[in-house]
Amino acid sequence: MINAQKLKCHARETGIDELRITTAQAFSDARERINEQVDEHLFLNPERWSRTSNRNFCDIHYQRSDARTIITACLCYYTDEPRDGSRPGDPHGMIARYTWRNHYRELRNRLRKLARFLKKEYRAMFRVYSNGPLTEKAAAQRSGIGYYGKHSIIVHPRFGSWIVLGEIITDIEIEPDQALPDDCGTCHLCMDACPTRAIIRPYIIDRRRCIQALANWPGEIPEDIMAVWGKRLYGCSICQDACPVNKTVKPFDRPRTEIGNVGPSLSLLDILRIDDKTYRTAYADNQITAAWINFPAIKRNALICLGHTGGPSALGMVREFTGHDDSIIAAAARWALNRL
Ligand code: SF4
Ligand code: SF4
C-alpha cells in the first residue's frame, strides 16, 4: 500500500487546497439516504434518481471495475469581491459565489497534473472528476475533507463550505485517511436562515423549495417562494452565508481561476434581451451555460429578480414579457409586474 505523503506534497505544489484519500468501497449510507429522499419526494427530478442510477452514483465500480482508491480534493473559491454590480437603471441579479468562475474546471486541471504524476510514479490508471457522476460529498466526508453541515454541504474546517470538490479514481491502493468528526453541534443557523424553510430537518433538503435547485428547474415557481427569492439570478447561498464557520474563512486576495469568469452579478435587462445562443456565447465555459442549463428558467429567474429589485427602468420590459409564448415566463412576468 502506497503512503500518501508524497502525493499530498505534490498536490500542495499543484495548488490543491486539500487532498485526502478513501477507498473505492461503495457509499451504501449515501445510497440509502438518497433512496429515502426519493421516496419522500424531495427531488425536483425524481426520474433521474432511479434505484439503478443511484446505485451507480454511489459505487464507482459500476464505472470503473478496477477502481481501488478515491483521491478527494478541494479548491476554495472565497474572495471578498463586491457581490452586486447594479447601477441606476441597470439592476443586476446575483450569481451564487461558487460559479462566479469555473472552479470545477480549474480543480479538474490541477487534478489532471497530479494524476499525471501518479501515472508516471506508480503506473496508475486514473480518471478525474469534479462535479461528476459520483457521490462526491460522501467521498469528501469519508476521506476527511470535511463533514456534512446541516445544510447538507461539506464544511472544511479551514475553508468552510466555500469549496468545490474533485476526485481522482485510481487502481492503486493508497493508505486511506479518517473521516472528521461532525462539528455542527447544537447550531442550526443555516436552517433558521433559509428563507423557504427548505432544510426540513438537519442534513435533509426539500429541493422543491430550495432556490439553488429551483434556479435551473423549468417549472412555475410557487408564489410564496417567489416572494422570498430576492435578487438571485442563479443559485442561492443564504444558508452558507449564515454559517459561523464560513464567517471565519480568510478570503483569497485574488480569484483562483479566470476560466469562465462571469462575475458576481449579471444585468437582468440584458438577460431578458438576449437569446439562448447569445447567452451561451457571452458566458461560455461557466456552469451557468452548461448543457443542462435551461435558459428559459434563467429568464424566468430574471423576471422574479426584477419583481424584487427593478425600478421604473424595468417596467416596460417586464410588461412586454407578460405576453410571452412560454406560459411559465409569462406567469413570472405578471407576478413581477404586480410587485412593481
Ligand atoms: S440554498 Fe437557499 S433555499 Fe436552498 S437550502 Fe440553502 S438557503 Fe435554503
Ligand atoms: S450554520 Fe451551523 S448547523 Fe449549519 S452548517 Fe454551519 S455550523 Fe453547521
Mind listing the pLDDT tens digit for each residue in 194-212?
A: 999 999 999 999 999 999 9
Task: Write b or e for each residue in 71-82: b if 16 or more Cβ atoms lie within 10 A of its Cβ, otherwise e.
Answer: bbbbbbbbbeee
Q: Using the structure block, give the residue that is written with the C-alpha cell 486511506.
A: 176
d(CA 320, CA 267): 17
Q: Give 131 Cα–ligand 1 centroid separation in angstroms.
A: 19
d(CA 271, CA 274): 6
Q: Which ligand is nearest to the CA of 194?
A: 1
d(CA 200, CA 317): 37
Residues 6+ apart with CB under 8 A from 331: 220
Q: Using the structure block, give the residue that is written with the C-alpha cell 438537519.
A: 202
Q: Is the CB of 199 under 6 A from ligand 1?
A: yes
Q: Quick one: pLDDT at residue 2?
A: 79
pLDDT tens-digit map of 215-230: 999 999 999 999 999 9
Q: For 269, what's the count of Cα atoms within 13 Å in the CB-facing half-sphere?
A: 16
Q: Whose CA is nearest to atom 5 of ligand 2?
A: 149
Dihedral pair phi/psi, residue 158, rounded to 5°: -100, -40
pLDDT tens-digit map of 80-120: 999 999 999 999 999 999 999 999 999 999 999 999 999 99
Q: Looking at the DSSP assignment, which residues form a beta bridge with residue 155?
A: 147
Percentage of the chain beyond pLDDT 90 is 96
